[in-house]
Protein backbone atom coordinates (compact mmCIF):
# COMPACT_ATOMS: atom_id res chain seq x y z
CA UNK A 1 0.00 0.00 0.00
CA UNK A 2 2.89 2.31 0.80
CA UNK A 3 4.16 1.72 -2.69
CA UNK A 4 0.82 2.80 -4.10
CA UNK A 5 0.80 6.11 -2.26
CA UNK A 6 4.44 6.70 -3.08
CA UNK A 7 3.61 6.19 -6.72
CA UNK A 8 0.75 8.65 -6.47
CA UNK A 9 3.19 11.13 -5.00
CA UNK A 10 5.59 10.42 -7.83
CA UNK A 11 2.88 10.91 -10.44
CA UNK A 12 1.80 14.27 -9.09
CA UNK A 13 5.31 15.55 -8.36
CA UNK A 14 6.92 14.62 -11.67
CA UNK A 15 6.10 17.51 -14.02
CA UNK A 16 6.44 15.30 -17.09
CA UNK A 17 3.82 12.84 -15.83
CA UNK A 18 1.34 15.31 -14.44
CA UNK A 19 1.60 17.53 -17.52
CA UNK A 20 0.94 14.55 -19.76
CA UNK A 21 -2.06 13.58 -17.72
CA UNK A 22 -3.48 17.11 -17.74
CA UNK A 23 -2.86 17.43 -21.45
CA UNK A 24 -4.69 14.19 -22.03
CA UNK A 25 -7.53 15.33 -19.82
CA UNK A 26 -7.75 18.63 -21.68
CA UNK A 27 -7.95 16.83 -25.03
CA UNK A 28 -10.69 14.55 -23.68
CA UNK A 29 -12.64 17.57 -22.49
CA UNK A 30 -12.17 19.45 -25.77
CA UNK A 31 -13.34 16.55 -27.91
CA UNK A 32 -16.27 15.83 -25.61
CA UNK A 33 -17.33 19.46 -25.29
CA UNK A 34 -17.43 20.23 -29.00
CA UNK A 35 -18.87 16.80 -29.88
CA UNK A 36 -21.69 17.32 -27.38
CA UNK A 37 -22.41 20.77 -28.82
CA UNK A 38 -22.43 19.39 -32.35
CA UNK A 39 -24.57 16.45 -31.26
CA UNK A 40 -27.11 18.76 -29.64
CA UNK A 41 -27.40 20.97 -32.71
CA UNK A 42 -27.54 18.10 -35.16
CA UNK A 43 -29.87 16.04 -32.96
CA UNK A 44 -32.29 18.95 -32.58
CA UNK A 45 -32.43 19.57 -36.33
CA UNK A 46 -32.96 15.87 -37.06
CA UNK A 47 -35.64 15.53 -34.40
CA UNK A 48 -37.47 18.55 -35.82
CA UNK A 49 -37.39 17.05 -39.31
CA UNK A 50 -38.54 13.67 -38.04
CA UNK A 51 -41.46 15.08 -36.09
CA UNK A 52 -42.48 17.62 -38.75
CA UNK A 53 -45.87 17.19 -40.38
CA UNK A 54 -45.74 14.75 -43.28
CA UNK A 55 -45.65 16.48 -46.64
CA UNK A 56 -44.13 15.95 -50.08
CA UNK A 57 -41.39 18.45 -49.32
CA UNK A 58 -40.36 16.50 -46.22
CA UNK A 59 -40.17 13.00 -47.74
CA UNK A 60 -36.49 13.20 -48.72
CA UNK A 61 -35.22 14.97 -45.56
CA UNK A 62 -37.14 12.50 -43.39
CA UNK A 63 -35.69 9.59 -45.33
CA UNK A 64 -32.13 10.92 -45.02
CA UNK A 65 -32.54 11.47 -41.28
CA UNK A 66 -33.91 7.99 -40.72
CA UNK A 67 -31.09 6.45 -42.75
CA UNK A 68 -28.49 8.43 -40.82
CA UNK A 69 -29.91 7.49 -37.42
CA UNK A 70 -30.20 3.84 -38.42
CA UNK A 71 -26.60 3.64 -39.67
CA UNK A 72 -25.10 5.46 -36.69
CA UNK A 73 -27.03 3.47 -34.13
CA UNK A 74 -26.44 0.20 -35.91
CA UNK A 75 -22.63 0.32 -36.15
CA UNK A 76 -19.87 0.45 -33.50
CA UNK A 77 -18.56 3.86 -32.48
CA UNK A 78 -14.98 2.56 -32.85
CA UNK A 79 -15.65 1.62 -36.47
CA UNK A 80 -17.21 5.03 -37.15
CA UNK A 81 -14.07 6.60 -35.73
CA UNK A 82 -11.86 4.43 -37.95
CA UNK A 83 -13.88 5.31 -41.02
CA UNK A 84 -13.54 9.00 -40.22
CA UNK A 85 -9.78 8.74 -39.68
CA UNK A 86 -8.75 6.27 -42.34
CA UNK A 87 -11.36 6.76 -45.07
CA UNK A 88 -13.16 10.08 -45.05
CA UNK A 89 -10.42 12.29 -43.58
CA UNK A 90 -7.46 10.23 -44.72
CA UNK A 91 -5.67 13.47 -45.57
CA UNK A 92 -2.19 14.03 -44.21
CA UNK A 93 -2.03 16.98 -41.84
CA UNK A 94 -5.77 17.33 -41.22
CA UNK A 95 -6.08 18.16 -37.48
CA UNK A 96 -6.91 14.97 -35.62
CA UNK A 97 -8.96 16.73 -32.98
CA UNK A 98 -11.36 18.05 -35.61
CA UNK A 99 -11.83 14.58 -37.08
CA UNK A 100 -12.52 13.18 -33.62
CA UNK A 101 -15.02 15.94 -32.83
CA UNK A 102 -16.86 15.30 -36.10
CA UNK A 103 -16.91 11.54 -35.50
CA UNK A 104 -18.28 11.85 -31.96
CA UNK A 105 -20.59 14.74 -32.86
CA UNK A 106 -22.14 12.76 -35.72
CA UNK A 107 -22.55 9.78 -33.44
CA UNK A 108 -24.06 11.74 -30.58
CA UNK A 109 -26.40 13.60 -32.96
CA UNK A 110 -28.19 10.36 -33.82
CA UNK A 111 -28.76 9.48 -30.18
CA UNK A 112 -29.72 13.04 -29.22
CA UNK A 113 -32.25 13.13 -32.06
CA UNK A 114 -33.93 10.03 -30.64
CA UNK A 115 -34.02 11.58 -27.17
CA UNK A 116 -35.52 14.84 -28.44
CA UNK A 117 -37.95 13.08 -30.76
CA UNK A 118 -39.16 10.97 -27.86
CA UNK A 119 -39.54 14.09 -25.73
CA UNK A 120 -41.59 15.88 -28.37
CA UNK A 121 -43.81 12.87 -29.01
CA UNK A 122 -44.39 12.41 -25.27
CA UNK A 123 -46.32 15.69 -25.11
CA UNK A 124 -50.02 14.90 -25.22
CA UNK A 125 -51.32 15.45 -28.77
CA UNK A 126 -54.60 16.81 -27.45
CA UNK A 127 -52.89 20.04 -26.38
CA UNK A 128 -51.64 20.60 -29.91
CA UNK A 129 -55.17 20.00 -31.17
CA UNK A 130 -56.53 22.48 -28.65
CA UNK A 131 -54.05 25.04 -29.95
CA UNK A 132 -54.99 24.32 -33.55
CA UNK A 133 -58.70 24.54 -32.76
CA UNK A 134 -58.10 28.01 -31.30
CA UNK A 135 -56.51 29.11 -34.57
CA UNK A 136 -52.92 29.23 -33.30
CA UNK A 137 -50.09 28.64 -35.76
CA UNK A 138 -47.98 25.48 -35.60
CA UNK A 139 -44.98 27.65 -34.70
CA UNK A 140 -46.76 29.19 -31.71
CA UNK A 141 -47.98 25.76 -30.62
CA UNK A 142 -44.49 24.35 -30.90
CA UNK A 143 -42.80 27.08 -28.88
CA UNK A 144 -45.49 27.88 -26.29
CA UNK A 145 -47.00 24.44 -25.72
CA UNK A 146 -44.87 21.54 -26.93
CA UNK A 147 -41.29 22.68 -26.27
CA UNK A 148 -41.67 23.69 -22.60
CA UNK A 149 -43.24 20.32 -21.81
CA UNK A 150 -40.85 18.31 -23.98
CA UNK A 151 -37.77 19.82 -22.32
CA UNK A 152 -38.77 18.39 -18.95
CA UNK A 153 -38.81 14.91 -20.47
CA UNK A 154 -35.63 15.43 -22.46
CA UNK A 155 -33.19 16.80 -19.86
CA UNK A 156 -32.49 13.59 -17.89
CA UNK A 157 -31.83 11.50 -21.00
CA UNK A 158 -29.73 14.27 -22.48
CA UNK A 159 -27.54 14.32 -19.36
CA UNK A 160 -27.08 10.61 -19.79
CA UNK A 161 -26.02 11.09 -23.41
CA UNK A 162 -23.46 13.75 -22.41
CA UNK A 163 -21.76 11.43 -19.94
CA UNK A 164 -21.76 8.67 -22.55
CA UNK A 165 -19.92 10.91 -25.01
CA UNK A 166 -17.27 11.83 -22.43
CA UNK A 167 -16.58 8.19 -21.64
CA UNK A 168 -16.67 7.07 -25.26
CA UNK A 169 -14.02 9.59 -26.30
CA UNK A 170 -11.56 7.24 -24.60
CA UNK A 171 -11.46 5.19 -27.79
CA UNK A 172 -9.54 7.95 -29.59
CA UNK A 173 -6.48 6.26 -28.10
CA UNK A 174 -7.14 3.59 -30.73
CA UNK A 175 -6.18 6.06 -33.46
CA UNK A 176 -3.18 7.27 -31.51
CA UNK A 177 -4.60 10.46 -29.99
CA UNK A 178 -3.19 11.46 -26.63
CA UNK A 179 -6.31 11.75 -24.51
CA UNK A 180 -6.71 11.01 -20.79
CA UNK A 181 -6.98 7.28 -21.40
CA UNK A 182 -3.88 7.23 -23.60
CA UNK A 183 -1.99 9.40 -21.11
CA UNK A 184 -2.67 6.92 -18.33
CA UNK A 185 -1.33 4.07 -20.44
CA UNK A 186 1.71 6.09 -21.51
CA UNK A 187 2.63 7.21 -18.01
CA UNK A 188 2.29 3.69 -16.71
CA UNK A 189 4.45 2.13 -19.42
CA UNK A 190 7.92 0.64 -18.92
CA UNK A 191 9.95 3.64 -19.93
CA UNK A 192 8.01 5.88 -17.51
CA UNK A 193 6.56 4.78 -14.15
CA UNK A 194 6.59 1.09 -15.02
CA UNK A 195 3.30 0.66 -13.15
CA UNK A 196 -0.12 0.96 -14.69
CA UNK A 197 -2.30 0.90 -11.62
CA UNK A 198 -1.59 4.40 -10.32
CA UNK A 199 -2.02 6.45 -13.50
CA UNK A 200 -5.05 4.39 -14.47
CA UNK A 201 -6.76 4.85 -11.12
CA UNK A 202 -6.01 8.57 -11.28
CA UNK A 203 -7.40 8.76 -14.84
CA UNK A 204 -10.52 6.91 -13.69
CA UNK A 205 -10.96 9.45 -10.89
CA UNK A 206 -10.68 12.29 -13.43
CA UNK A 207 -13.40 10.72 -15.57
CA UNK A 208 -15.52 9.99 -12.54
CA UNK A 209 -15.25 13.55 -11.21
CA UNK A 210 -16.23 15.02 -14.57
CA UNK A 211 -19.22 12.71 -14.96
CA UNK A 212 -20.25 13.34 -11.38
CA UNK A 213 -20.19 17.10 -11.91
CA UNK A 214 -22.35 16.84 -15.02
CA UNK A 215 -24.80 14.45 -13.39
CA UNK A 216 -25.06 16.80 -10.45
CA UNK A 217 -25.68 19.83 -12.69
CA UNK A 218 -28.35 17.98 -14.68
CA UNK A 219 -30.10 16.94 -11.46
CA UNK A 220 -30.19 20.60 -10.39
CA UNK A 221 -31.73 21.65 -13.69
CA UNK A 222 -34.24 18.81 -13.42
CA UNK A 223 -35.19 19.91 -9.93
CA UNK A 224 -35.77 23.51 -10.93
CA UNK A 225 -37.89 22.41 -13.88
CA UNK A 226 -39.95 20.13 -11.71
CA UNK A 227 -40.70 22.99 -9.36
CA UNK A 228 -43.12 24.41 -11.93
CA UNK A 229 -45.05 21.14 -11.73
CA UNK A 230 -45.56 21.60 -8.02
CA UNK A 231 -46.29 25.30 -8.27
CA UNK A 232 -49.99 24.71 -8.15
CA UNK A 233 -51.36 27.89 -6.69
CA UNK A 234 -49.77 31.17 -5.81
CA UNK B 1 -77.09 31.87 -45.91
CA UNK B 2 -76.47 28.98 -43.57
CA UNK B 3 -73.82 29.20 -40.87
CA UNK B 4 -72.42 25.80 -41.74
CA UNK B 5 -72.87 23.61 -44.72
CA UNK B 6 -71.11 20.34 -45.34
CA UNK B 7 -71.16 18.88 -48.83
CA UNK B 8 -70.45 15.22 -49.57
CA UNK B 9 -67.79 14.88 -46.90
CA UNK B 10 -65.72 11.71 -47.12
CA UNK B 11 -62.88 10.49 -44.95
CA UNK B 12 -60.87 7.33 -45.46
CA UNK B 13 -58.19 5.90 -43.25
CA UNK B 14 -56.54 3.68 -45.83
CA UNK B 15 -59.17 1.09 -46.71
CA UNK B 16 -61.39 2.08 -43.83
CA UNK B 17 -64.13 4.46 -44.97
CA UNK B 18 -65.11 6.41 -41.87
CA UNK B 19 -67.26 9.04 -43.54
CA UNK B 20 -69.11 8.03 -46.71
CA UNK B 21 -70.55 11.25 -48.01
CA UNK B 22 -72.06 13.39 -45.28
CA UNK B 23 -74.34 16.27 -46.30
CA UNK B 24 -75.38 18.64 -43.59
CA UNK B 25 -76.64 22.20 -43.17
CA UNK B 26 -76.87 24.18 -39.96
CA UNK B 27 -78.37 27.59 -39.22
CA UNK B 28 -77.34 30.13 -36.62
CA UNK B 29 -78.92 29.48 -33.23
CA UNK B 30 -79.44 25.79 -33.84
CA UNK B 31 -78.33 23.21 -31.31
CA UNK B 32 -77.54 19.99 -33.10
CA UNK B 33 -76.84 16.81 -31.17
CA UNK B 34 -75.00 14.14 -33.14
CA UNK B 35 -75.81 10.61 -32.03
CA UNK B 36 -74.68 7.24 -33.26
CA UNK B 37 -73.02 3.99 -32.19
CA UNK B 38 -69.30 4.09 -31.39
CA UNK B 39 -67.18 3.91 -34.50
CA UNK B 40 -69.97 5.39 -36.62
CA UNK B 41 -67.85 8.41 -37.57
CA UNK B 42 -69.61 11.08 -35.50
CA UNK B 43 -66.43 12.37 -33.86
CA UNK B 44 -64.62 12.30 -37.19
CA UNK B 45 -67.49 14.30 -38.67
CA UNK B 46 -67.18 16.92 -35.94
CA UNK B 47 -63.40 17.06 -36.24
CA UNK B 48 -63.58 17.40 -40.01
CA UNK B 49 -65.49 20.65 -39.66
CA UNK B 50 -62.51 22.53 -38.22
CA UNK B 51 -60.06 20.27 -40.07
CA UNK B 52 -58.49 18.56 -37.09
CA UNK B 53 -59.16 15.67 -39.45
CA UNK B 54 -58.22 16.36 -43.04
CA UNK B 55 -61.22 15.27 -45.16
CA UNK B 56 -60.44 12.93 -48.04
CA UNK B 57 -62.95 14.79 -50.19
CA UNK B 58 -65.92 17.09 -49.85
CA UNK B 59 -66.39 20.73 -48.93
CA UNK B 60 -67.21 22.58 -45.75
CA UNK B 61 -68.62 26.10 -45.97
CA UNK B 62 -68.60 28.25 -42.87
CA UNK B 63 -70.48 31.52 -42.89
CA UNK B 64 -70.69 31.27 -46.67
CA UNK B 65 -66.96 30.76 -47.21
CA UNK B 66 -65.37 27.55 -48.40
CA UNK B 67 -62.85 26.35 -45.80
CA UNK B 68 -59.45 25.82 -47.40
CA UNK B 69 -55.88 25.22 -46.23
CA UNK B 70 -55.29 28.94 -46.65
CA UNK B 71 -58.13 30.29 -44.53
CA UNK B 72 -58.47 27.48 -41.99
CA UNK B 73 -56.66 29.29 -39.17
CA UNK B 74 -58.90 32.31 -39.57
CA UNK B 75 -61.99 30.07 -39.67
CA UNK B 76 -60.95 28.19 -36.54
CA UNK B 77 -61.00 31.46 -34.60
CA UNK B 78 -64.77 31.48 -35.09
CA UNK B 79 -65.32 27.78 -34.47
CA UNK B 80 -64.79 26.90 -30.83
CA UNK B 81 -64.07 23.35 -29.80
CA UNK B 82 -64.38 21.47 -26.52
CA UNK B 83 -62.72 18.06 -26.25
CA UNK B 84 -63.49 14.90 -24.33
CA UNK B 85 -60.17 15.12 -22.49
CA UNK B 86 -60.32 18.91 -21.94
CA UNK B 87 -56.86 19.47 -23.48
CA UNK B 88 -55.88 22.36 -21.28
CA UNK B 89 -52.27 23.45 -21.80
CA UNK B 90 -50.43 21.88 -18.86
CA UNK B 91 -47.50 24.29 -18.73
CA UNK B 92 -49.69 27.39 -18.62
CA UNK B 93 -51.77 28.74 -15.77
CA UNK B 94 -55.54 28.85 -16.14
CA UNK B 95 -55.33 32.58 -16.94
CA UNK B 96 -52.69 31.97 -19.62
CA UNK B 97 -54.77 29.12 -21.05
CA UNK B 98 -57.64 31.57 -21.43
CA UNK B 99 -55.77 34.53 -22.89
CA UNK B 100 -53.10 32.80 -24.99
CA UNK B 101 -55.06 32.59 -28.26
CA UNK B 102 -56.96 35.90 -28.19
CA UNK B 103 -53.81 37.86 -27.30
CA UNK B 104 -51.46 35.96 -29.62
CA UNK B 105 -53.91 36.31 -32.52
CA UNK B 106 -54.30 40.01 -31.70
CA UNK B 107 -58.06 39.73 -31.26
CA UNK B 108 -57.83 41.47 -27.88
CA UNK B 109 -55.31 43.53 -25.99
CA UNK B 110 -53.78 41.71 -23.06
CA UNK B 111 -55.54 43.66 -20.32
CA UNK B 112 -58.81 43.42 -22.22
CA UNK B 113 -58.38 39.62 -22.46
CA UNK B 114 -57.53 39.36 -18.77
CA UNK B 115 -60.65 41.34 -17.93
CA UNK B 116 -62.86 39.06 -20.00
CA UNK B 117 -61.15 35.96 -18.58
CA UNK B 118 -61.78 37.19 -15.04
CA UNK B 119 -65.43 37.81 -15.86
CA UNK B 120 -65.86 34.32 -17.28
CA UNK B 121 -63.98 32.74 -14.36
CA UNK B 122 -66.18 34.59 -11.90
CA UNK B 123 -69.23 33.44 -13.83
CA UNK B 124 -68.31 29.77 -13.43
CA UNK B 125 -67.20 30.28 -9.83
CA UNK B 126 -63.51 29.54 -10.39
CA UNK B 127 -62.00 33.00 -9.88
CA UNK B 128 -59.58 31.61 -7.31
CA UNK B 129 -58.06 29.27 -9.90
CA UNK B 130 -56.72 31.96 -12.24
CA UNK B 131 -53.09 31.39 -11.22
CA UNK B 132 -53.39 27.63 -10.75
CA UNK B 133 -52.06 25.07 -13.18
CA UNK B 134 -54.44 22.58 -14.82
CA UNK B 135 -52.93 19.64 -12.89
CA UNK B 136 -54.53 20.94 -9.67
CA UNK B 137 -58.09 21.03 -11.04
CA UNK B 138 -60.79 18.37 -11.02
CA UNK B 139 -62.14 17.02 -14.30
CA UNK B 140 -65.29 19.06 -14.10
CA UNK B 141 -63.33 22.23 -13.36
CA UNK B 142 -60.97 21.54 -16.27
CA UNK B 143 -63.85 21.04 -18.67
CA UNK B 144 -65.59 24.23 -17.57
CA UNK B 145 -62.30 26.11 -18.05
CA UNK B 146 -62.01 24.50 -21.49
CA UNK B 147 -65.50 25.75 -22.34
CA UNK B 148 -64.78 29.33 -21.31
CA UNK B 149 -61.43 29.12 -23.11
CA UNK B 150 -63.42 28.49 -26.28
CA UNK B 151 -65.83 31.31 -25.34
CA UNK B 152 -62.93 33.77 -24.98
CA UNK B 153 -62.78 33.80 -28.79
CA UNK B 154 -66.49 34.71 -29.09
CA UNK B 155 -67.04 31.85 -31.55
CA UNK B 156 -69.99 31.74 -33.91
CA UNK B 157 -70.20 27.97 -33.54
CA UNK B 158 -69.16 25.78 -30.65
CA UNK B 159 -68.29 22.11 -31.23
CA UNK B 160 -68.41 19.66 -28.32
CA UNK B 161 -66.74 16.29 -28.79
CA UNK B 162 -68.19 14.05 -26.05
CA UNK B 163 -67.65 16.74 -23.40
CA UNK B 164 -68.85 14.64 -20.46
CA UNK B 165 -67.54 11.18 -21.39
CA UNK B 166 -64.39 11.46 -19.26
CA UNK B 167 -66.12 12.88 -16.18
CA UNK B 168 -67.48 11.50 -12.94
CA UNK B 169 -71.27 11.79 -12.43
CA UNK B 170 -71.01 14.86 -10.21
CA UNK B 171 -68.85 16.76 -12.68
CA UNK B 172 -71.12 15.78 -15.55
CA UNK B 173 -73.85 17.88 -13.93
CA UNK B 174 -71.61 20.95 -13.61
CA UNK B 175 -70.53 20.77 -17.22
CA UNK B 176 -74.02 20.14 -18.54
CA UNK B 177 -75.47 23.11 -16.74
CA UNK B 178 -72.77 25.36 -18.21
CA UNK B 179 -73.56 24.06 -21.71
CA UNK B 180 -77.26 24.59 -20.98
CA UNK B 181 -76.51 28.18 -20.04
CA UNK B 182 -74.69 28.78 -23.32
CA UNK B 183 -77.65 27.28 -25.12
CA UNK B 184 -80.04 29.62 -23.31
CA UNK B 185 -77.84 32.54 -24.37
CA UNK B 186 -78.44 31.57 -27.98
CA UNK B 187 -75.07 29.98 -28.74
CA UNK B 188 -74.96 27.84 -31.88
CA UNK B 189 -73.87 24.42 -30.72
CA UNK B 190 -73.02 21.07 -32.22
CA UNK B 191 -72.45 18.30 -29.73
CA UNK B 192 -71.49 14.66 -29.95
CA UNK B 193 -72.66 12.91 -26.80
CA UNK B 194 -73.89 9.66 -25.32
CA UNK B 195 -76.07 11.42 -22.74
CA UNK B 196 -79.49 10.76 -24.23
CA UNK B 197 -81.61 12.73 -21.80
CA UNK B 198 -79.29 15.71 -22.12
CA UNK B 199 -79.43 15.39 -25.90
CA UNK B 200 -83.20 15.36 -25.81
CA UNK B 201 -83.33 18.37 -23.54
CA UNK B 202 -80.82 20.60 -25.25
CA UNK B 203 -81.16 19.77 -28.95
CA UNK B 204 -83.20 21.68 -31.47
CA UNK B 205 -82.30 18.91 -33.91
CA UNK B 206 -80.89 15.43 -33.61
CA UNK B 207 -78.66 13.89 -36.27
CA UNK B 208 -78.02 10.16 -36.31
CA UNK B 209 -74.86 8.87 -37.97
CA UNK B 210 -74.28 5.23 -38.74
CA UNK B 211 -71.49 3.72 -40.84
CA UNK B 212 -70.29 7.11 -41.95
CA UNK B 213 -73.60 8.50 -43.14
CA UNK B 214 -76.41 10.56 -41.68
CA UNK B 215 -79.29 8.11 -41.74
CA UNK B 216 -81.90 10.09 -39.84
CA UNK B 217 -82.37 13.59 -38.49
CA UNK B 218 -85.19 15.55 -36.95
CA UNK B 219 -86.59 17.34 -33.94
CA UNK B 220 -85.72 15.61 -30.69
CA UNK B 221 -89.34 14.89 -29.67
CA UNK B 222 -90.08 13.11 -32.92
CA UNK B 223 -86.65 11.49 -33.14
CA UNK B 224 -86.84 9.95 -29.71
CA UNK B 225 -90.53 8.97 -29.69
CA UNK B 226 -91.13 8.12 -33.34
CA UNK B 227 -87.86 7.11 -34.99
CA UNK B 228 -88.33 6.45 -38.69
CA UNK B 229 -85.56 3.99 -39.47
CA UNK B 230 -85.20 0.52 -37.92
CA UNK B 231 -81.53 1.21 -37.19
CA UNK B 232 -82.39 4.21 -34.98
CA UNK B 233 -85.21 2.27 -33.31
CA UNK B 234 -82.79 -0.52 -32.47
CA UNK B 235 -80.21 1.98 -31.17
CA UNK B 236 -82.70 3.79 -28.97
CA UNK B 237 -84.05 0.56 -27.54
CA UNK B 238 -80.55 -0.31 -26.43
CA UNK B 239 -79.59 3.02 -24.92
CA UNK B 240 -82.83 4.30 -23.41
Name which of B198, B200, B156, B196 is nearest B176 in CA terms: B198
The predicted pLDDT at position A231 comes to 52
**Least Cα separation, residue A148 to chain B (angstroms):** 7
Closest by Cβ to B52, choosing from A132, A144, A229? A132
Count Cβ–Cβ pairs < 8 Å, chain A vs chain B. Answer: 80
- Which residues of chain A neighbour B52 with C-beta distances below 8 Å? 129, 132-133
Average pLDDT of chain A to the nearest whole number:
92
B132 phi and psi, to 5 degrees? -80, 160
Q: Average pLDDT in the A126-142 region?
A: 96
Cβ density class B46-73: b for 16+ within 10 Å, e for less: bbbbbbbbebeebebbbbeeebeeeebb
**Least Cα separation, residue A62 to chain B (angstroms):** 21
**Least Cα separation, residue A38 to chain B (angstroms):** 29
Prediction pTM value: 0.84
- Which residues of chain B neighbour A127 with C-beta distances below 8 Å? 87-90
Closest by Cβ to B132, choosing from A127, A132, A232? A232
Specify the CATH number for the domain of residue A154: 1.10.3720.10
Q: How many residues are listed for chain B in this entry?
A: 240
d(CA A192, CA A190): 5
Percent of chain B predicted with pLDDT > 70: 100
Average pLDDT of chain B to the nearest whole number:
95
Give the tens place of pLDDT for each residue, A161-178: 999 999 999 999 999 999
Give the tens place of pLDDT for each residue, B50-76: 999 999 999 999 999 999 999 999 999
DSSP string, A145-188: IIHHHHHHHHHHHHHHHHHHHHHHGGGGGGGT---HHHHHHHHH
d(CA A203, CA B95): 54
Beta bridge mates, B9: B22
- Which residues of chain B neighbour A126 with C-beta distances below 8 Å? 83, 85-87
Q: Is residue B63 helix, strand or coil? A: coil
d(CA A52, CA A48): 6
β-sheet with B213-218: strand ranges across: B79-82, B157-161, B189-192, B31-35, B205-210, B213-218
Contact criterion met (CB below 8 Å) for A84 and A46: no
Contact criterion met (CB below 8 Å) for A100 and A174: no
Banded model confidence at residue A224, pLDDT cuts 50, 70, 90: confident
Closest by Cβ to A135, choosing from B74, B88, B89? B74
Give the tens place of pLDDT for each residue, A115-131: 999 999 999 999 999 99
Query: pLDDT at residue A198 above 60?
Result: yes
Q: Which residues contact B14 (CB under 8 A, 6 or more apart)?
A: none
Q: How many residues are listed for chain A in this entry?
A: 234
Please give the residue range of the domain that contains residue A162. Answer: 19-225
Closest by Cβ to A144, choosing from B76, B100, B133? B100
Q: Average pLDDT in the B122-129 region?
A: 96
The answer to whether residue A232 sits within a structural domain is: no
Nearest CA in chain A to B107: A135
Nearest CA in chain A to B92: A145
The answer to whether residue A11 sits within a structural domain is: no
The answer to whether residue A108 sits within a structural domain is: yes
Cα dist from A42 to A7, A114, B1, whole Å:
44, 11, 53
ipTM value? 0.94
- Which residues of chain B neighbour A140 with C-beta distances below 8 Å? 104
Q: Is residue B9 helix, strand or coil? A: strand
The residue with greater pLDDT, A8 or B165, is B165
- Which residues of chain A neighbour B85 with C-beta distances below 8 Å? 126
**Least Cα separation, residue A55 to chain B (angstroms):** 13
β-sheet with B65-66: strand ranges across: B16-26, B4-13, B57-62, B65-66
Dihedral (Cα; B30, B34, B35, B40), 10-degree rounding: 160
Name which of A205, A211, A164 is nearest A184 in CA terms: A205
- Domain B4-88+154-239 falls under CATH 3.40.50.300: yes
The answer to whether residue A94 sits within a structural domain is: yes
All CATH 3.40.50.300 domain ranges in chain B, comma separated: 4-88+154-239
Specify the number of domains making up chain A: 1
Amino acid sequence: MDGFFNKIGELFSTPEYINSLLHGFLLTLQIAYFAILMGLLLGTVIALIQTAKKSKLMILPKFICNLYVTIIRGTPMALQLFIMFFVIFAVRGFPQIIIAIIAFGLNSGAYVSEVIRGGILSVDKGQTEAGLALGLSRTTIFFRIVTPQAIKNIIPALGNEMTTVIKETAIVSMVGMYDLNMAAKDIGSGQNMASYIVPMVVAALFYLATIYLITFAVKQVEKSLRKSDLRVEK
Amino acid sequence: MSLLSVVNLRKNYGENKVLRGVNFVMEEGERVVVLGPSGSGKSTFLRSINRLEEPTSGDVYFNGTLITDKNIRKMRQDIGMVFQHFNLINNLTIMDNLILAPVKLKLMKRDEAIKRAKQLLRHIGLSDKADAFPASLSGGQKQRIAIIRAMMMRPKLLLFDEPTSALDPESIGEVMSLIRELADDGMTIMIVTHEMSFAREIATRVVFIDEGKIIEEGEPEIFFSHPKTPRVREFLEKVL
